[in-house]
Amino acid sequence: MTAPPAPASLRRVRDALLGWYAVAHRDFPWRATRDPYAVLVSEVMLQQTQASRVVERFPRFMARFPSAAALAAASSAEVLAEWSGLGYNRRALSLQRAASAVTRDGWPRDVVGLRTLPGVGPYTARAVASLAFGIPAGVVDTNVRRWLLRRFAVDDRPASLQTLADALAAPGDGGEAATWTHASMEFGARICRARSPECEICPIAVSCPSRGAAPHVAVPRQAPLRGSSRAYRGAVLNRLATAPAHELAEAALLAAIAGDRARVGPGLAPTGWERILGGLERDGLVHRRDGMVRLGAATIRA
């Protein structure tokens, strides 16, 4: 096991990154807010979706559903239609359930409480705790993991990385919790990048054991999209999101997807189609009635 870095070394790294972030960061719209709802929306969107795409979609989503109460009051079809194209659509339904919970019970204000919200895992709880509530909780995303491994040569174990991230996030002389979380993530995304890290202009290059020879830090690879269940599920949801009243005849929907072979896949046998549609129904993403497929879960009529 690698010895933990000395507190003075951690302070130097923290101070250098905060100084760099103050002059070099990008002004993303979610960085200008401490509203826990807006922070949660942005964090959920940023999971599995590139920041360049979230830049377009986050303001639109916030304009449509400006508060947790507004999101909680919407139909699942409205939420899924607005989420269309961002992928991993179950995230949208979990986000809506979280919005319902905080509208009913108020916001939990610490990591443990935030973890109880639907769809909120350890990473998201820590991100919201630091970004919205100013709690000095270390946040380890893909970018942070990479630079921690390179700069400190610690064990590549979640517990080791979390301990190190927490030590770095502890309050120091400069910068508050939210700024540190943004700085830590931004540094990994902009300077200690996966490919071609910018060691020549790196603000923490002194004493970096990886300087000039940064090792590749592997991340789990996603399977190719075309032909996958994810591709067919996404195609169904995208078609319904743009259809009038968010519904289509099942036969027309199947024909539309079969006609999009280049992007979606080579087509599905009846059992494969049933597997895709049945899975979407079980996840509450679509429902069928009278030969029609409609976006969202069925609403129970009184």
Residues within the interface to ligand SF4 (CB under 6 A): 147, 150-151, 191-192, 197-199, 202, 204-205, 208, 210-211, 214
The residue whose two tokens read 């916030």 is 62
Q: Least CB distance from residue 180 to ligand SF4, whole Å? A: 16
Q: Least CB distance from residue 190 to ligand SF4, whole Å? A: 10
Query: Which residues are CB-neighbours of 203 under 8 A, at least 6 positions away?
Result: 16, 17, 19, 20, 187, 191
Q: Which is nearer to ligand SF4, 192 or 254 (CB)?
A: 192
The two three-digit tokens of residue 36, written as one number: 């826990």
Q: Which is nearer to ligand SF4, 161 or 264 (CB)?
A: 161
Q: Which is nearer to ligand SF4, 95 or 149 (CB)?
A: 149
Q: Least CB distance from residue 187 to ligand SF4, whole Å? A: 8
Does residue 43 have an active-site annotation?
yes
Q: Which is nearer to ligand SF4, 97 or 211 (CB)?
A: 211
- Which among 43, 82, 186, 247 is annotated as catalytic? 43
- Annotate 161-221 with DSSP letters as a single string: HHHHHHHHHS--SS--HHHHHHHHHHHHHHTS-SSS--GGG-TT-TT-TTTTSPPP---PP
| CB 33, CB 125: distance < 8 Å | no
Q: Which is nearer to ligand SF4, 216 or 289 (CB)?
A: 216
Q: Which is nearer to ligand SF4, 101 or 140 (CB)?
A: 140
C-alpha closest to that of 139 among 186, 192, 107, 184: 184
Query: Which residues are CB-neighbours of 281 under 8 A, at least 6 positions away?
Result: 287, 288
DSSP 244: G
C-alpha closest to that of 293 among 258, 254, 262: 254
**How would you label 236-271 residue by residue, b for 16+ Cβ within 10 Å and e otherwise?**
bbbbbbebeebbbeeeebbeebeeeeeebbeebeee
Q: Least CB distance from residue 214 to ligand SF4, whole Å? A: 4
Q: Least CB distance from residue 84 to ligand SF4, whole Å? A: 37
Distance separating alpha carbons of residues 241 and 79, to the nearest angstrom = 10
Q: Least CB distance from residue 85 to ligand SF4, whole Å? A: 33
Vertex 289 angle, CA 288 and 292, to 5°: 75
Q: Which residues are catalytic?
A: 43
